[in-house]
Chain A
């Protein structure tokens, strides 16, 4: 996180959980960045990362694990999906790279 703050970067967690669930989750895992609630799945839909899950015969649509880096101009700089998206290192290195003045 220190590396990120130094590179002028914020992290936003996003899921379909309620703000109350996210508040408890943030407390449990000790994160200080905002956890956002996409309860209407609007963002998951516009980002096309709704994924079907089967749980005990019930069908649900939740987020595909995804990391997207958006630069200060609002442009996408990096997209990572699936299990590798759990590891934030590549997203972090993209951001520290963004901070460096271009040669």
Chain B
């Protein structure tokens, strides 16, 4: 009987430690939930030139003085959002 109690206590201790070990990992995962940019309103957007779906180079600064630009970053094509 004493052995069972000791074993149970051991299991509880393990669970307790496990909980403590898991908690910081979960917190870190939540911190990483948004890869937060340091770019701020009022700063100049870093220029870039990328290939479009029509294999043409599109340069952000080409729109300077002409158009406002909405940059819509998405994870992957064919996936929601």
CA distance A28 to B36 in the complex (A): 30
- Contact check, A74 vs B74: say whether CB atoms are below 8 A apart: no
> Is the interface on chain A under 10, 10 to 19, 20 to 34, or 35 or more residues?
35 or more
CA distance A103 to B61 in the complex (A): 28
Q: Name the residue on A nearest B60 (C-beta).
A: A70
Q: Is the C-beta of B5 less than 8 angstroms from some C-beta in chain A?
A: no
> Is the interface on chain B under 10, 10 to 19, 20 to 34, or 35 or more residues?
35 or more
Can you list 16 pairs linking A and B with CB atoms under 8 Å apart?
A8-B67, A12-B72, A13-B74, A15-B75, A26-B53, A36-B50, A52-B32, A63-B74, A64-B35, A66-B73, A68-B45, A70-B68, A70-B69, A73-B65, A74-B60, A85-B72
